[in-house]
Amino acid sequence: MWDYTDKVKEHFLNPRNVGEISNADAVGEVGSLACGDALKLFLKLDENKERIAEAKFQTFGCGSAIASSSALTELIKGKTLDEALEITNQEIADFLGGLPEEKMHCSVMGQEALEAAITQYRGGTIATHEETGQEGNILCKCFGLTDSFLKKIIVTNKLRTAEQVTHFTKAGGACGGCIDKIKVAIAEVLEEQVMEKQKSPEKLTNLRKMQLIQSVLENEVRPQLWSDGGDLDLIDIDGSRVQIAFRKACAGCGSSGSTARFVEQKLRGLVSDDISVEEVEG
């Protein structure tokens, strides 16, 4: 049984603001029957069209989906549209005293519906779930999720593993065919973050660099590989060239290429951006 907080249970058993608003200013719809959850959000603005006077929802989904929808409507009432857009899925989860990580996608659905509603209000077109978040290319076919949507969720929730991305967005949770692509997306997000952050001018000594590489591999990289039943060994460090050998499930795994890339992005992000990682036999 899921370990739901009392607040989740309370909002599931007594959801606030259920229903429709017939003359709503904005309607946002995300999810579908096939996905297993869907949320339709109705917003009514005040006379000055500034603040959200009323918010109602209809949700098809599990306990945490209903509780997240209820929490969302409570959070946005009285806010301006810009203030409402600032709300992150984490705030929805926090409002409920937290959600099991496997259920975080319910909070993401709430935030998506809100964005869809406000986009529709400002752009004047009704956004349906097929149209929201469709910038970029479809990465997860089963749930129709794009790379740009996933990257946004990866950044805002500081996600580091494909499993986390599945828990937050469902991507990769059905056929599993896109999990390698999700790993690449995580690596690319890390890369972009490194690019943005100006590298500190401090010059690493060779000794310090080697220590840092070892510590990142031990503390950041290997625990994540273990969770997939894999592992790696550090074979050698020659300047900025890091040689690793994959072990256990990683050895001979078809996606070891993307795993090597993930290791490289980690080291570039946390040690130095001139590092290159190569996979060797060893």
Min. distance of Cβ 62 from another protein in angstroms?
A: 4
Name the residue type at position 49: K
Residue in 106, 140, 178, 250 annotated catalytic: 106
Which residues are 42's β-sheet partners?
A: 27, 56
> Which CB, 63 or 98, lies closer to another protein?
63
Helix, strand, or coil (residue 272): coil
- 142 as an active site residue: the answer is no
> Which CB, 18 or 53, lies closer to another protein?
18
Name the residue type at position 149: F
Q: Is 49 exposed, middle or buried (0-12, 13-18, 19+ CB in 10 A)?
A: exposed
Min. distance of Cβ 18 from another protein in angstroms?
A: 5
- 140 as an active site residue: the answer is no
User: Quick count: other Cβ atoms within 10 Å of Cβ 78?
Assistant: 13
> Which CB, 36 or 98, lies closer to another protein?
36
> Which CB, 27 or 242, lies closer to another protein?
27
Residue in 35, 140, 178, 250 annotated catalytic: 35
φ and ψ of 15, to 5 deg: -65, 140
Min. distance of Cβ 20 from another protein in angstroms?
A: 9
Contacts 24+ apart (CB under 8 A), 12-15: 12/63, 12/64, 12/66, 12/67, 12/70, 15/66, 15/67, 15/69, 15/70
Binding residues for another protein, per CB under 8 A? 9, 12-13, 15, 18, 29, 33-34, 36-40, 58-63, 65-66, 102-103, 143, 166, 170, 173-174
Contacts 24+ apart (CB under 8 A), 45-49: 45/81, 45/121, 49/25
Min. distance of Cβ 100 from another protein in angstroms?
A: 9
Active site residues: 35, 106
